[in-house]
Amino acid sequence: MRIFEDRIRWLLMFLISAISYLDRVNISIAVLPIEQAFDLSDVQFGWVFSAWVMGYALFQAPSGRLADKVAPRKILALGTIWWAMFTALTAFVPTKFAGVLSVLLGWAFYWVSENES
């Protein structure tokens, strides 16, 4: 039974990592439509990419420490729920309302959740 649990765990880890990787690759392809939809310049979109780096860098160690203290399964589940929630919330970011700020905040929280997954 333990072998089956290990296989499921590795499958889930692979799927989460693959989706995360595809997301990062696809965002670079979607730069132009996103810039046009939110009326962002290249510099402003650079800030959006920087939000990802900051969220990832700031929460890498704390999320690992939390997983060590609490339980890896619980933290992975929490990170996946957080990730799904902010993925869904990006659809509700208003296009002309505080464009850069809303996109920055939304993606920063989203990328923090990616770090925990």
Model confidence pLDDT, tens digit, residues 1-54: 566 667 888 888 888 888 878 877 887 888 888 888 777 788 888 887 777 777
Q: Burial of 116 by CB count in 10 Å (0-12 exposed, 13-18 middle, 19+ buried)?
A: buried
More confident residue, 70 or 99: 70
pLDDT tens-digit readout, 61-95: 888 888 888 888 888 888 888 878 777 777 776 66
Place of tokens 């392809």: 29
Prediction pTM value:
0.54
Q: Which residues of 53-76 are buried (b: 16+ CB within 10 A; e: fewer)?
A: eebeeebeeebeebbeeeeeeebb
Q: Which residue range is the domain that position 112 belongs to?
A: 2-116
Number of separate domains in the chain: 1
Token pair in block for residue 26? 């696809």
Residue-level pLDDT at 102:
61
Task: Give the pLDDT score at 10.
Answer: 85
